[in-house]
Amino acid sequence: MTPASQDIAALLGSRICHDLISPIGAISNGVELLQMAGGTLGPELELISESVENANARIRFFRITFGAASPDQQIGRNEVYSILQDLTRGSRLQIDWRVAGDTTRIEVKLAFLLLQCFETAMPWGGQITVTCEDGHWQVSGTSDRMKIDAGLWQILTESGRKPDIGAAEVQFLLLPVLLSAEGRELTVELSETGVIARF
């Protein structure tokens, strides 16, 4: 992926997320109005409400993960924490964001892409912890049951590897490109019960 195509992909991600936020927000507002008019929600509206909340959380996450980010853009800890809380509500996967203060959007983007990589290795849930000290990031995940595709993880650390992968694993292609653009290297430790990644 060239820098130009990388920028186009990020702008496309931003455009899609931007265009989806409004209709999803409108559905959410509609459900709230129905709730105000009728009191409690029936099972049908409850299902719609939960689905809208999940979609909204995903869009907010994707907007940072796949959207455009300028070098000087900052994102607050509270916003990141809110996105991750909404994203994992009711999930077997829990994310502990231990990064203090505001962070550059590009660093959060890198961490979010890495979280998506972890998500593929932890389909049955588990615990992920994200830390950053003096600009050095670490993402560690543990679970009693892991599903690690070593070939996918090798893409992150070995240049030149371009295996055929599906849309669900696109983060494994994007992350090395962005890390290289930022002059960062990723190290990964894999085990039967966890993954530790540092950049």
pLDDT digits (tens, 9 = 90+) for 105-132: 999 999 999 999 999 999 999 999 999 9
| Range(s) of the domain holding residue 23 | 1-68
Which 3-state string (H, E, C) describes 120-131? Answer: HHCCCCEEEEEE
Q: Are 29 and 80 in the same domain?
A: no
pLDDT tens-digit profile of 59-111?
Answer: 999 999 999 888 889 999 999 999 999 999 989 999 999 999 999 999 999 99
Q: Are 59 and 82 in the same domain?
A: no
Question: How many domains are contained in the chain?
Answer: 2
Q: Are 98 and 175 in the same domain?
A: yes
The Cα 41–Cα 50 span in angstroms is 11
Q: Are 136 and 54 in the same domain?
A: no
Question: Last residue of a domain, which of 52, 68, 84?
Answer: 68
